[in-house]
Structure 1
Amino acid sequence: MANLTRWSPFKTLARFEQQTPFEELFNGFGLRPRWSELEMPEMRIDVTENERSYAVKAEIPGVGKDDIDVSIDGNQVSISAEVKRETKKKDDEREICTERYYGQVYRSFGLPGEVDNTKASAHYENGVLTLDLPKKGNGNARKVTIS
């Protein structure tokens, strides 16, 4: 099976030389391209399910656990996080290249069934947020006979 990657028109431009990244076109002009600021990093997730619950693993590197918010509404799960930038620099230093993102990241998705948000739990370790989302039981479900 082939791996799919998302194509970004700002990484390379095919109508110019194939091997030359778009950012290198600005070298020597004293301009700093701002295309990288338009890109927000993706929060990659894995979702699995068993009979009792859904398990979600979300990659959110470089974030403190206090800066992550998870909300559950029915079958809708929303994860947001604030990526903070370290601003410790010495007086004689200047930035030459800055590729690390800082700001807000957000991901929202729907699950096939409703989640019991009172029993949901979350754990964050080594840049991976793990959610255990128990399925809501059909407490009042009954079979209806047709006459």
Structure 2
Amino acid sequence: MANHLMNFDPFSGLSSELSRFDPLRNVEELLRDFGGRGIHGTQPAMRLDVSESEQGYCVKAEIPGVKKEDIHVDVDGNRVTISAETRQEHDEKKEGKLVRSERYYGQQYRSFTLDKPVDEAQAQARYENGVVALTLPKKAGGNGRKVQIT
């Protein structure tokens, strides 16, 4: 009689399923289906594009509906911060009487670190059609120096 025994492990494959277990996965999808932003995070209101060349960095930040005077850009070494104060006011009047008034005041900002330090004195910014465009030249001589061991 031939011995045709096979090894059977009832727990094989179960460990990979447990390692990927996320009890809130379905709740996240449910909130997204109803137009919510989810519970694990929200999409940033200020979207950024950062590109690098040999001379410097080009940053474009979308900040629609904000006045130029309410936008602030700070550059400190290789750290860049863009902040904007947002205001929305809506008044609804009916027959000369105020029926509803809604106001929103807030601030949004993005802060990020670049690979190389920026020459703050040569940095330029312009705001057009809801987009802030930054030209950030790299600081000369920011590559460090080699030290000779004697």
**TM-score computed with the length of structure 1 as normaliser:** 0.65
Q: Percent identity?
A: 51
Residue 79 of structure 2 is aligned to residue 76 of structure 1: yes
User: 1:1-147 alignment to 2 at 5 Å?
Assistant: 12-13=30-31, 21=34, 41-91=44-94, 102-138=105-141, 142-147=145-150
Bigger Rg, which one? 2
CA–CA distance in structure 2, aligned partners of residues 76 and 90 of structure 1: 46
- Displacement of 1:126 in angstroms is 0.6
Give the stretch that moved more between structures: 46-55 or 130-139.
130-139
Q: Residue 87 of structure 1: CA displacement?
A: 3.1
Deviations 1:19-39 (A, max 9, x none): 5x278xxxxxxxxxxx9xxx6
Q: CA deviation at 1:118?
A: 0.7
Unpaired runs of 5+ in structure 1?
1-6, 24-34
Deviations 1:13-68 (A, max 9, x none): 38xxxx5x278xxxxxxxxxxx9xxx685211000011111000001010000000
Q: Once superposed, what is the RMSD of the aligned Cα atoms?
A: 3.5
Higher strand fraction: Structure 1 or Structure 2? 2
* 3-state SS in 2 of match to 1:13: helix
Q: What is the match of residue 17 of structure 2?
A: none
Corresponding pairs, count: 118
User: What are the Cα deviations for residues 57-81 of structure 1, in whole angstroms up to 9, with x where unaligned?
Assistant: 0010100000001001110000100
Give the letter for the 1:13 counterpart.
Answer: L
SS of residue paired to 1:118:
helix
Q: TM-score, normalised by structure 2?
A: 0.64
Q: Distance in 1 between matches of 2:108 and 2:43?
A: 7
Q: Are the structure 2 counterparts of residues 40 and 46 from structure 1 closer, same or farther at C-alpha, using a change threshold of 3 Å? A: closer
Q: Which amino acid aligns with 1:84?
A: R
Q: Where does residue 11 of structure 2 map in the other structure?
A: none
Rounded Cα–Cα distance in structure 2 between residues aligned with 1:60 and 1:134: 22
In structure 2, runs of 5+ residues without a counterpart are 1-24
